[in-house]
Amino acid sequence: MNKITMLRKEKGITQKKLSLEVGITRAYLSNLENGKHKPSLEVALRIAEILESTVEKIFK
């Protein structure tokens, strides 16, 4: 389980809710969680903000 998935589940946030808040599709979020894509800096920053973490901790 990667950091996005772990933090998202710890906070009780669904993929659908996180993807809507970030402004990406649920499918793209799933691909990020499965390591199939790398996020843009803007998307990485938004995910970190919503999950109350840092880009470094999530995407290291």
Task: Tell if the pTM clears 0.75, that is, is over it.
Answer: yes
Domain boundaries, the chain: 3-59
pLDDT of residue 44: 98
Domain 3-59's class? mainly alpha
Q: Smallest Cα–Cα separation from 8: which of 56, 55, 50, 54?
A: 50
Cα torsion through 16, 33, 38, 51, rounded to 10: 60
C-alpha–C-alpha distance, residues 42 and 6, integer Å: 21
Cα-to-chain-centroid distance, residue 52: 11
Please list the pLDDT of the chain residue by residue as tens digits (60 residues).
799 999 999 999 999 999 999 999 999 999 999 999 999 999 999 999 999 999 999 998
